[in-house]
Amino acid sequence: MRQTVRVEPRTVDAEDGIRLGQLLKLAGVAESGGHARALLEDGEVTVNGEPETRRGRRVLRGDVVVVALPAGEETVRLG
């Protein structure tokens, strides 16, 4: 029987919001700004279930960012 492992979303604190590219780096999902840009350009990122390609998009408290990576999905919530 195959078991499903549930991974809790990473939470990043930013009271006034943060740009998406910065969030990806701060959460450790992207290694650099260039890596964040590549993830966005490749369509690997959604914000609140909607595809997002803008690195400068403002992410606000409560928003959920999901990134499709080769090792699986990473979820980041802005707290």
What six digits make up the tokens of 36?
């964040």
Domains of the chain: 10-78 (3.10.290.10)
Q: What is the pLDDT of residue 7?
A: 64
Distance (Å, rounded) from C-alpha 68 to C-alpha 52?
Answer: 12
The predicted-structure confidence for 14-52, as pLDDT tens digits, reads as follows 878 999 999 999 999 999 999 999 999 999 999 999 999
pTM: 0.85
Q: How confident is the model at residue 78 (pLDDT cuts 50, 70, 90)?
A: confident
What is the pLDDT, as a whole number, of residue 38? 97
3-13 confidence digits (pLDDT tens):
444 567 888 88
